[in-house]
């Protein structure tokens, strides 16, 4: 069993990005500039945004952070988004999700200029990705593909079972895996809450991606010997063994599944860091005008 170490892989990629930024500065070219809008006081969202700011500082990106109260109106938020849409110095930006219930998330996503949508959530980017045009791919699926590339795990002809059909992870990942190319050409089965006998399908899989948001859903009896398992889940559960009283648990029961695997991602330290570094990659692409 080998660990797919997302943390060390992301650090390697960040060093490459930092070097590229340094070269851009030497050549007198524009420094990549990421905008971040955070609404409200959700603890997890604050942590994510702080990590993204730290990443920008590490690689030498500029960033603009806009913090809005949870009581902000949808119209006010749209005005902030439009200010970034028309700000020529900002290459790409994100609106951290989730948003307060009185705000329509889909409306907000569609307000973002697709050419600055470095989260890859806008329908235009999703559509371009589906038909194989240059696009910003949402960070978690893109990060998973980058991690598999880093470890030179070929996908051609492999049977991949993806558990979870969210618009952010499961659906886009299933499309990326099935597209033509060295890190595509897989046969993909997409499972969800209405799928019958998921375990029967996962036991047939060469690669299982668990993105269902259910702690330790995938158990050893669901995985065949020598499979590759990618765990996207991150759920905080109570723990008497940690100072905070909580620990992060994935969708895979790691201790019993890992011995059966050829490769497996840990939680934390697997997919999470790759998601963050993918946002940096998208922002660099935006600054260099590689997509639009």
Say if pTM beats, i.e. exceeds, 0.85: yes
CATH of the domain at 143: 3.40.50.720
Catalytic residue positions? 52, 96, 119
Residue 43 has pLDDT above 90, yes or no: no
Q: What is the mean pLDDT of the chain?
A: 95
Mean pLDDT of 132-144: 96
Query: What confidence score (pLDDT) does residue 28 get?
Result: 95
Mean pLDDT of 236-243: 74
What DSSP character marks residue 116?
A: G
Residue 239 has pLDDT above 80, yes or no: no
Mean pLDDT of 195-213: 97
Query: What confidence score (pLDDT) does residue 241 get?
Result: 74
Query: What confidence score (pLDDT) does residue 228 get?
Result: 98
- Total count of domains within the chain: 2
Residue 60 has pLDDT above 80, yes or no: yes
Predicted confidence band of residue 235 (pLDDT cuts 50, 70, 90) = confident
Mean pLDDT of 123-133: 96
Residue 246 has pLDDT above 90, yes or no: no
Give yes or no: residues 199 and 244 share one domain: yes
79 in a structural domain: yes
19 in a structural domain: no
The CA–CA distances, whole Å, from 192 to 86, 161, 289 equal 39, 11, 36
CATH of the domain at 108: 3.40.50.10860
- Residue 43 has, within 13 A of its CA and on its CB side, a CA count of 1
Predicted confidence band of residue 244 (pLDDT cuts 50, 70, 90) = confident
Long-range pairs, 8-13, Cβ under 8 A, ≥24: 9/146, 9/147, 9/150, 9/151, 9/273, 9/274, 9/277, 10/273, 10/274, 10/276, 10/277, 11/273, 12/150, 13/146, 13/277, 13/280, 13/281
Question: Tens digit of pLDDT for each residue in 185-197?
Answer: 999 999 999 999 9
> What range defines the domain where residue 93 resides?
29-114
């Amino acid at each position: 069993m080998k660990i797919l170490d997302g943390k060390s892989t992301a650090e390697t990629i960040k060093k490459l990005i930092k070097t590229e930024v340094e070269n851009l500065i030497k050549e007198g070219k524009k420094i990549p500039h990421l905008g971040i809008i955070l609404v409200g006081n959700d603890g997890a969202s604050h942590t994510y945004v702080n990590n993204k700011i730290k990443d920008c500082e590490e690689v030498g990106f500029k960033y603009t952070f806009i913090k809005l109260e949870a009581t902000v109106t949808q119209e006010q938020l749209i005005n902030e988004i439009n200010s970034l849409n028309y700000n020529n110095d900002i290459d790409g930006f994100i609106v951290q999700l989730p948003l307060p219930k009185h705000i329509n998330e889909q409306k907000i996503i569609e307000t973002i200029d697709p050419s600055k949508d470095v989260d890859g959530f806008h329908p235009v980017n999703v559509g371009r990705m589906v038909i194989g045009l240059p696009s910003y791919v949402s960070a978690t699926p893109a990060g998973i593909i980058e991690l598999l590339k880093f470890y030179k795990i070929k996908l051609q002809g492999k049977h991949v079972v993806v558990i979870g059909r969210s618009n952010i992870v499961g659906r886009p990942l299933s499309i990326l895996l099935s597209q033509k190319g060295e890190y595509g050409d897989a046969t993909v089965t997409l499972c969800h809450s209405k799928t019958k006998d998921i375990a029967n399908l996962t036991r047939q899989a060469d690669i299982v991606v668990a993105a269902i948001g259910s702690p330790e859903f995938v158990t050893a009896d669901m995985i065949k010997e020598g499979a590759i398992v990618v765990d996207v889940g991150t759920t905080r559960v109570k723990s008497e063994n940690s100072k905070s009283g909580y620990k992060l648990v994935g969708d895979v029961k790691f201790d019993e599944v890992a011995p059966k695997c050829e490769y497996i991602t840990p939680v934390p330290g697997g997919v999470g860091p790759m998601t963050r570094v993918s946002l940096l990659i998208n922002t660099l692409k935006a600054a260099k005008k590689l997509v639009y």
